[in-house]
Amino acid sequence: MKRPRSIVLATVAALAATVALGGGALRDSHSAGALAAVPADARAYTALGFRLQALERETGDPVYLTRSEHALRRALALASDDRAATSGLATLALSSHHFREALALGRKMLRLSPESAQAYGVIGDAELELGRYRLAFAAFDTMARLRPGLSSYARVSYARELLGDRGGAIAAMRLALEPAAASREDTAWTRVQLGKLFWSEGRVGEAAAEYRAALAVLPGHAPALDALAQVEAARGRAEEAITLERRALEAMPMPQFAAALGDLYSSAGKPRLARAQYARVRALDRRLAANDTKIDLDVALFDVDHGIRLSQALVLARRGRAQRPSIDGDDVLAWALARNGRCAEARAYSQHALRLGTRDAVKLFHRGMIERCLGNRGTARHHLGRALALNPHFSLLWGPVARKVLR
């Protein structure tokens, strides 16, 4: 199952937090000189806030994000212009999908430090999820000009991917490998992102090589295990895929990993085990929501894909799109409408989801199924064919459906 891009965004936000602690925000503040004016307690709370975010990245436990917010807000209560604490809260807002709050904090970062590359990254991330792509891309361009490096190259890569320039996206992510080399975590993350770009074009062998390179650098890296599980499933090695996905979930109990494991069990003819994992998705989602992460869009997509409470899923999709009026928000709402039989209304949102020229097999599949629902057989076959040509393995659940429709 493909979750919305929010998961990747959260990872980019976490990467920005690493930059903020290791050099981004502190370098923007000219390090010790700027920190000298900050009370010692504020520095301690800021350091604690960043450490708690690092623990969340390591464990996937959202409780650490709540604790990080408390620490960082305490730092700002002691020193309202603490640049590092402000950047930490901005990163936290992105990770928790509070995009309007993140945008406000990014603008505050820019007021505190007008040449802060990291501030432009935060602003661009927030504008992106709010569907304001021209402003987002301009912010990323400014960030890359001010400080070429891992965080800026990753954002440029994503922008190019959204615009349908997959070759340019791969080139930018390859540029990110050199600055990532200073950290095993950053190298593994970059290798996985590069592999996912290959995967989204159906280049299974090249994707697998990147995922294995990530694991060679950082054994047990959960995102790499999860991604490699998809490769093994595509190659027809169901048990190997299940083993890898179980390892990913054990290393980091995230809902998208539980969902993927459930889908693997389902496709392997093990419905009881699949149901257990789907129940775990629900429990993990509740934990995220309890720690103030906005997950309406993610929950809606899971429920729509799995035929769970479709009318309620549509309510969640509408609410999620209001929070994230992006092409992902448009796509999830379109799919929720279609699965509720409201295909004419779904078509407009699906068209909007593809307005940037993004080459996304899942979005193309949704558009094809919506056209099929409306009786437009030729248009449906066109979009379904494009989805499979782009990535024959785009979904364990829906790839077989697309192939069956086209037969």
Asked whether the beta carbons of 8 and 158 are under 8 A apart, the reply is yes
* Domains 238-291 and 305-406 agree in fold: yes
Supply 172's token pair.
Answer: 């930018």
Q: Where in the chain are the domains?
A: 6-237, 238-291, 305-406
Q: What is the pLDDT of residues 272-291, one digit of tens each?
A: 999 999 999 999 999 999 99
Three-state DSSP state, 190: helix
Of the options 1.25.40, 1.10.3470, 3.10.450, 3.40.50, the CATH number for the domain spanning 238-291: 1.25.40
Report how far apart the first and last C-alpha atoms of the chain are (Å, whole number).
23
pLDDT (0 to 100) of residue 59: 87
Share of the chain above pLDDT 70, in %: 90
CATH architecture of 305-406: Alpha Horseshoe (1.25)
Q: What type of residue is 284? A: L
CB-based burial, 182-205: b 16+ in 10 Å, e otherwise:
ebebbbbbbbbbbbbbbbbbbbbe
Asked whether the beta carbons of 360 and 334 are under 8 A apart, the reply is no
Q: Which residues of the chain have pLDDT under 50?
A: 1-11, 13-14, 16-37
CB-based burial, 92-124: b 16+ in 10 Å, e otherwise:
bbbbbbbbebbbebbebbbebbeebbbbbbbbb
pLDDT (0 to 100) of residue 39: 53
Question: In the CATH scheme, what is the code of domain 6-237?
Answer: 1.25.40.10
163 membership: H or E segment, kind and range? none
Give how far Cα 128 sits from Cα of 163, 209, 270, Å: 12, 30, 39
CB-based burial, 304-339: b 16+ in 10 Å, e otherwise:
bbbeeeeeebbebbbbbbebbbbbbbbbbbbbbbbb
Q: What is the pLDDT of residues 317-364, one digit of tens each?
A: 999 999 999 999 999 999 999 999 999 999 999 999 999 999 999 999
pLDDT (0 to 100) of residue 11: 45
Q: Which residue has the tokens 């290959």?
A: 198
Asked whether the beta carbons of 104 and 119 are under 8 A apart, the reply is no
Integer Cα distance of 132 and 118 in angstroms:
19
Burial class (CB in 10 A: 0-12, 13-18, 19+), 287: middle
